[in-house]
Amino acid sequence: AVTRTFSIIKPDATRRNQTGAVTKMLEEAGLRVVASKRIQLSKEQAEGFYAVHKDRPFYGELCNFMTSGPVVVQVLEGEDAVKRNRDIMGATNPADAAPGTIRKELAESIEANSVHGSDSEENAATEIAFFFNDDEIVG
Ligand code: CMP
């Protein structure tokens, strides 16, 4: 089925001017960008978005990193979008990611790993609603 997922192009990628390179890989993987905006996350937004990780040792650093520069938040649409996006992103740690994936080809480290993608359809819906109103998504 055609579904939606949520993506973030992280500060390491925007800093290196790779918004287009990341988006091209998403599109070539069969995903369509149906919403997109470049924003500076506030500390509160980063902490709220990653609240699920608040007891993890990397939470503080992660929130600092995610507010260290602009991000591009996107809604992606396509056949089985959550899985399709996770496949093209590659493993969380670029060192473990398969060749041809965004993280293998473009990312710097497990923290500066260039992209976030929803891990389930349920989380995709929550994450999309965190950043977008319905009228900002044009399929
Ligand atoms: P993301 O998919 O955005 O979800 C949580 C993020 O935490 C993850 O990508 C990484 O960028 C970051 N992170 C930093 N350190 C770790 C770690 N040791 N294990 C998992 N995620 C980490």
Which pLDDT score, from 0 to 100, does residue 123 have? 98
> Is 103 marked as binding a ligand?
yes
* Most informative mutation of 7, 22, 73, 92 for ligand 1 (most atoms within 8 A of CB): 92
**Of 120, 102, 90, the residue nearest 3 (C-alpha):** 120
Which pLDDT score, from 0 to 100, does residue 109 have? 98
pLDDT tens digit sequence for 24-66 = 999 999 999 999 999 999 999 999 999 999 999 999 999 999 9
State if pTM tops 0.90.
yes
**Of 13, 6, 5, 7, the residue nearest 113 (C-alpha):** 13
pLDDT tens digit sequence for 113-135 = 999 999 999 999 999 999 999 99
Q: Where are the beta strands (DSSP E) in 92-134?
A: 115-117
* Most informative mutation of 82, 113, 118, 120 for ligand 1 (most atoms within 8 A of CB): 113
What the block records as the tokens of 69 is 């520069």
Contacts for 8 with CB less than 8 Å, ≥ 6 apart: 71, 72, 73, 74, 115, 116, 117
Which pLDDT score, from 0 to 100, does residue 19 have? 98
